[in-house]
Each structure stands twice: as C-alpha cells, then as structure tokens.
A and B are shown apart, each in its own frame.
Chain A
Amino acid sequence: MFHIMKKFIQSALQRKYLEKRAVFIIMLVLVLLPLKLKGVYFYHCMIFTFYFAVLGTSWNIISGYSGAVSLGHAAFLSIGAYTSTILLINFQLTPWIGMLIGGSLSALSGLVICYPATKLKGPYFVMSTAAFAEILRYLTSQSKFAGGASGLIIPVVTGNSLYWFQFIEKWPFYYIILFFTIIVVFISYKIENSKVGLYLMAIRENRGAAQMLGVNVAKYLRMATCLSAFFTGIAGTFYAQYMVYISPDAIMGLGESIKIALVAIIGGMGTFIGPIIGAALYFGVGEIVRFLLGAEISGLSSFIYGIILIVFILLFPKGLVQFLKDMGGRFERYFIH
C-alpha cells in the first residue's frame, strides 16, 4: 500500500505534469468563478489582482529575467493610458486600437530609454529608469494637453459598448483582464523556456561571461524592455477604461513603479508564476487589512500593510515561489527518496 502511495506521489510531483495540470485547473476555476461568486466588490478585487498580475509579469520580463531592475514602469503604464485616452477624447478612436498604439509608444519609449540605460549597471540603471518616470510625471502634470495635475476623465457612454470599451457591469472587465493575464503569462512562460529567456538569465548571472558565450547583451535587453513596456502600456489602457479617470498622481511616478516591482519581488522574480502569486498576495493582503482596519485610525491600514510587506520580504527574500520550490525539494528528499 505504501509503495502504491509513494508511486502516486512521485508521479504527481513530476514537475511538467504538475505544472500543466495546475495551470489548467486554475484557469478553469477563474473562468467559471463569476458564475458562483458575484458582487461588485468581488469583481473589483479580482480585476485588480489580474491587473497587477499583468503589470508584475510584464516587469518580470526585463527585470526578473535579466536582472536589470526598472523603477520606470509607471512611465510605460501612463504612456499607454494617456495615449489611448487622448486619442479617444480628441479623435473618438476606439480604445482597442488606442491600446495597441499606446502599447507601441510605450515600447518605443522603452527602446529610447534602453539605449543609454543599458550601458549602466546595477543601481545606475535603476536610477536612470526612476528618473525617466519622475520626469514624465512632472511633464504630464504641467501639460494642459494631458489635463495637467487634474488628469483626464474618460467620456462615459450610456449602456454597454464594446467599441468604447465601456460596460455597466464589471464581469466584462473581469474576462478582458483575465484574457490579458493569460496572454502575458503565456508569453512570459514561453520566454522563460526559450533561448531568449536563457540569454536574459545569463545576462543577469554574469554579463561578461554571457558576452563571451555569444550573447549580444544590448540587443536582448532592448528586446525585453520593448516587450515589457508594450504589455505594461496595454495594462495602462485597461486601467484608464476601467477607472474612467487618469491623473499623474494615480498612475505615474516612482510610487507606482515600486508597486509594480513589488508584485514580482514578493511572488518571485525571474519565475513566470511569481508575479501572479505576488499580485494575489499584494492586492489580497492590502484589501484584507483595509477591510479589518479601514475604519480605525486614518492611515493605520496603510501603515500595517507596509509592515506586513517588509516582514514578508525579510522572511522570503527570494520570493514566495522560490521558498515553496525549496520546501518542495526538501519534501521530495525527505519523504520520497
């Protein structure tokens, strides 16, 4: 009997089958979940969890895999959001096309910042990306065309409209952001298991050795930055359409970039599943704390939330995914072998 159970557990722990089965089950649950659980608050939580999962996964493509940590992703987010919004307001262009234009402009700006930035290493690269985000926030807040510090309000149409990307209920937004999440995570998974992913990881581990093994460091960093910026820009359009309001304070600047980075760091940088788990933790814990302490002393929930994040990062410095992998390895060694 014990022998049969051991064989079963060994088979279940075979990584490729475990991952594929787990992914399939999770996707099925997420698609069917709105049939069981309803309510505006439920949808809002899930939508923002997926939104952060898209942001974290996009960030991970450049910063997690290649180690070139960016604190400028709020810039890409806002370029996407403002581009589609300005095109919508001024030219009545559907946000679906505005999203692609916004994503492309984000990718282009990623390329521009990448050229000088990839000659910098370590903290200097981080600082240059942070400076880029802050400069863009300042310029936007001074720009009348972009609504200045007051931001822009998306014109609201009556009823549901696929063309205007506006819906009365939240479930269409749920499925749209779920779709985006699946796409971005799938692409991230493919990158991780490809030559591109291996090259990015080689750059992260040892740039000089990577070069000597034939890796064109600048080319692959530019490629990853553009892809990362594109998806972040797409998420920016989604945010604009969901919130129907954007402003420099809402989605720009260093604070927003840090949030995006935290999602991947908490879950596990350099793994495709880390940002998903990180998004669930980051947003989930924040909502729980706000729910429990929101009515107490003003700002207490944010304070407690910050403490929880710090403790979490101290306990799991490599992210939760790596911690679970290490525990899984020990479980395998102690109980199976």
Chain B
Amino acid sequence: MFFEIRNLSKNFGGLKAVNEVSFSVKKGEIVGIIGPNGSGKTTVFNLVTGFHTPDRGFVIFKDEVISNLRPDQICKRGIARTFQIPQPLPRLSVLKNVMVGAYSKTSEEGEARRKGLAVLEFLGLLGQKDVLAEKLRGATMRRLELARALATDPEILMIDEIAAGLNPTESAAIVKVIKQMREDTGLTILIIDHVLNVVLNVVDRLVVLHHGEMIIEGLPHEVIMDRKVTEVYLGEYHVGA
C-alpha cells in the first residue's frame, strides 16, 4: 500500500485526541478527512508529519514506518502539508518562502529559484514574488501555503482547511487549483475540511472522524448518506425527526 495509517492513537493528558484510527491511501487518490471541530483531523496530520509522536500505532509510507521521524525527515521523504492557520515566513518574500521548500530537494540556488518561480506561476502568485509574506491576506496567503508545500516536490500533499475564512468564490478557485494539481502531476492528496461542500467536489474517498475515532470511510455519496455521519453533523434530534 502506498500510504497507510494503522491503529494510530494519541492522548493529551486524559484526552484521547486520536484513538485507533486506521485507513490507507492509494497513489494518486484524493482522500478527504472530515468531522466536526475537535474530532482529531489536524492531530492526525500532526502525527503523520512528525509534529507529534504517536502513543500507539504506525504511519507507513512506501513500506517504511515514518511514525517517529522528524518533520524535516518526513518532508524529504515526500510528504508535504499546509497548516490550518497559515504559517508564513513573514519577513521573507513570497519567492524566498517558496525557495525554502525547493531547497529540500536541491542545493543549487538557480534550480531552487527556477522551481520557486514555476510553482508561483502555477498558483498565480508570480506578480507578488517580491512581496513580503506578512503583507498577504486571505486567499493569497492560502495559495502561498500551497506553493511552499508544492515546491518540496511531494508525493503526498496534506491540505488542512485550505478554504477556512474564504468566501465561496475564493473557495471554488482553490478547489479548482487542487483538481488541477492532481490532473497535472498525479499527486496524492489528503484534504481536511469540516465544510462538506469544499471536500465533496474534489475527493475520491472520505474518512469521517468523530471524537478522535474513525466512524466510517468510503465513497463520498455513500458516506454522506450514512446515518452515523448525519448524526455527527446534524445531531441525533435531526436524524430522528
């Protein structure tokens, strides 16, 4: 299997943030991870990308267990992510932000710059390459997050709430970019969002988390019709009514 999470668990004190979560991802798939706020989605991302160490379970990528690696080691193996709250390098320019990512795969300044410019062009940020990252707002900042992650030449891209705070037009534009990325590069994408409309337009498969546990996974149209999912999003009252 290309990518697999097996019995992944993480506690913070007495809180079971992630509890025995298991699913796998095929190469080239787009898998959505959904669930209400606090269901453990971002914690799963943090466990995969090395920001937290799992208490139990494994993350396996191309037959290698990567659960205990550092974030930079995971990046070099081909997994990149964006952050729920954008994490720019504020006093560096847009281009330099992206070149940091590009340098993960090359030591040549010219090559890192070429890669950076290519990624910025793809994401429509070329005109702002010399702008300081701290001056960006909203959708542009989200595009920078994507650009930096893409510059690392990942095999798996993990996108965390990319449409948060964006209006419907901006969300649609970002979703279009994500689809384009998969079409152009065959990238495998894991995408978190708690807004179903954003995720349903783009994913091949859905995984639903609630209170740190996986309650269902499957095809989007099957998952959203599932009673358990409806309960999670609308509450037992609405399901029963």
Interface residues of A, Cβ cutoff 8 Å to B: 194-195, 198-199, 201-202, 205-206, 208-217
Contact = CB atoms under 8 A, between A and B. Distances in A.
B90 A206 contact: yes
A214 B76 contact: yes
Given A195-B103, A206-B89, A214-B75, 19 more contacts: A195-B109, A198-B92, A198-B96, A198-B99, A201-B89, A205-B89, A208-B87, A209-B88, A209-B148, A211-B70, A212-B71, A213-B75, A213-B148, A213-B151, A214-B105, A214-B152, A215-B72, A215-B104, A216-B70
B101 A213 contact: yes
A210 B91 CA distance: 13
B213 to A, nearest CB: 26
Contacts of B151: 213
A199 B103 contact: yes
Nearest to B145: A209
Which among A198, A202, A205, A213 has the greatest number of chain B C-beta atoms within 10 A? Answer: A213
B83 interface: yes
Contacts of B103: 195, 198-199, 214
A214 B101 contact: yes
Contacts of B90: 205-206
Interface in B87-119: 87-92, 96, 99-101, 103-105, 107, 109, 112
Interface of B: 49-51, 70-73, 75-76, 80-81, 83, 87-92, 96, 99-101, 103-105, 107, 109, 112, 148-149, 151-152
A212 B81 contact: yes
A326 to B, nearest CB: 12
Given A212-B71, A214-B75, A215-B72, A202 B92 contact: yes
6 contacts: A194-B109, A198-B99, A212-B75, A213-B152, A214-B105, A215-B104
A52 to B, nearest CB: 26
Which among A212, A215, A216, A217 has the greatest number of chain B C-beta atoms within 10 A? Answer: A212
Contacts of A209: 83, 87-89, 148
Given A195-B107, A201-B92, A202-B92, A216 B72 contact: yes
Given A209-B83, A214-B152, A198 B100 contact: yes
A146 B87 CA distance: 49
Contacts of B96: 198, 201
Contacts of A194: 109
B100 A202 contact: yes
